[in-house]
Amino acid sequence: MSEPSTPRRAFVTGGSRGIGAAIVRALAAAGHEVVFNYRASEGPARALCDELTAADARVEAVAFDVADRDAARAALDELLARDPTPFQIVVHNAGITRDAPFPALAPEDWDAVIATSLGGFYNVVQPLVMPMVRARWGRIVVLSSVSAILGNRGQVAYAAAKAGLVGACRSLAREVARRGVTVNAVAPGLIDTDMLEGVPLEHALGLVPMRRVGRPEEVAALVRFLASDEAGYITGQTIGIDGGMAP
């Protein structure tokens, strides 16, 4: 029998759509208060808040670009000034692709991909770590990708950013392990979200032993588990959720 998790305050980046929205729903359903961020999708963010508030969840959305260090800092400071309860669950999910063969990869695309995934990790997770350490309980979960493990044509920037997150998680896990804070990455394969638009699925599914795409809810269930009390002895790991793509 699994124990219900103690309710905590959670922060999720990129919660307005796709996997992030499923994570927000899963954490709210587990009884956590959830603050999520988004960059542009105000309508979907509001709709998600309305949906969860109607179900008696405590949820709030804040708009800022995770790649913008000052904006992230200002938003987090404002949230903690209003309510100093530490965020003891932090999920860095926001990420973008700008696929192109490497010789044709524009510098601004390299910068945007790295700044969102890897810069976003620093800009959001770093300010929230010390309060978690002081509370002696924390869960940090980061969305990496199967591309970080296998590599993928056209995704040199994306794979670099997502592999960078794996290294960051492993190192941070060692720094905070004795303080009750775990740090893990999840590495999804092909998940059915807007991010798959334009991906030639007939070819891509040939690389998936299960021959199907994953659902955002399947990734969210893994994240919810890693954020739970029960997952307290798992840290520094990268857990694949990819229908068998990566060995």
CB of 93 to ligand NDP, least distance (A): 5
Q: Is 155 in the site for ligand NDP (CB under 6 A)?
A: no
- Using an 8 Å Cβ cutoff, are 168 and 142 in contact? yes
CB of 203 to ligand NDP, least distance (A): 15
The nearer residue to ligand NDP, 44 or 180, going by C-beta atoms, is 44
Q: Residue 47 corresponds to which tokens in the numbers above?
A: 């709709």
Q: Is 125 in the site for ligand NDP (CB under 6 A)?
A: no
Q: Is 24 in the site for ligand NDP (CB under 6 A)?
A: no
Helices (H), ranges, the chain: 18-29, 42-54, 69-82, 107-114, 120, 126-135, 146-150, 156-176, 201-204, 216-226
CB of 142 to ligand NDP, least distance (A): 9
Q: Is 148 in the site for ligand NDP (CB under 6 A)?
A: no
Q: Among 75-83, 88-96, 172-180, 231-239, which window interacts with ligand NDP (CB under 6 A)?
A: 88-96
Count of residues making up the chain: 247
* Window 192 to 211, contacts with ligand NDP (CB under 6 A): 193-196
Q: Is 145 in the site for ligand NDP (CB under 6 A)?
A: yes
CB of 16 to ligand NDP, least distance (A): 4
Q: Residue 154 corresponds to which tokens in the numbers above?
A: 């056209």
CB of 140 to ligand NDP, least distance (A): 14
For 60, the 3-state DSSP assignment is strand
Q: CA–CA separation, 45 vs 49, rounded Å?
A: 6
Q: Is 34 in the site for ligand NDP (CB under 6 A)?
A: no
Q: Is 184 in the site for ligand NDP (CB under 6 A)?
A: no
Supply φ then ψ for residue 74, to 5 degrees: -65, -40
Give the closest residue to 227 by CA, choosing from 187, 189, 184, 191. 184
Q: CA–CA separation, 120 vs 92, rounded Å?
A: 8
Residue 233 annotated to the active site: no
Q: CA–CA separation, 84 vs 101, rounded Å?
A: 46
Q: Is 188 in the site for ligand NDP (CB under 6 A)?
A: yes
Q: Residue 31 corresponds to which tokens in the numbers above?
A: 């009884």
Per CB under 6 A, residues contacting ligand NDP are 13-20, 37-41, 65-67, 93-96, 116, 143, 145, 188, 190-191, 193-196
Which residues have a catalytic role annotated? 158
